[in-house]
Amino acid sequence: MGTDLQEVYTSFFSKTVFDYSLLQDLVYIFLKSALTRAKKNTNHSLEMTFTNEEAFEGYFVEVLDEEEVEYIALWMRWYEASRATQQVVKMANSVGSNVFYRNETNKSLMESKIAGQQQAYSDVILYEQDFFYM
């Protein structure tokens, strides 16, 4: 048996302030999305086996390195930040961007979401440079 999925979830939860206890399906979507990005820089198979599909519990078929677990979690954090940015964009589009951006609070919200997404991406790139391209 390989690395428990909970190790990746725990690493991701340590990077976010949001409580996902009732949103396991969303966390799993972040995981699946992150795996598509992470697979090019991992040495082990990212194939998974589920022990409880409804709760998204299971394990990777192979044992992942700590660096691989962290790398996947960082990509999950990027997808979380990207989703937050997309939600604000949808809000802006629903009321009209001219109206939305006239409000300084809305403008600041968008700027903070974009900055968060950029920081999450920067974290991924720096991690790649530190651990995968040395």
- pLDDT tens-digit map of 34-79: 999 999 889 999 999 999 988 999 999 999 999 999 999 999 999 9
In contact, 11 and 69? CB cutoff 8 Å: yes
In contact, 38 and 72? CB cutoff 8 Å: yes
Specify the pTM. 0.91
- Report DSSP letters for 30-69, one per residue: HHHHHHHHHGGG-SS---EEEEETTTTEEEESSPPPHHHH
The whole-angstrom separation of Cα 81 and Cα 110 is 12
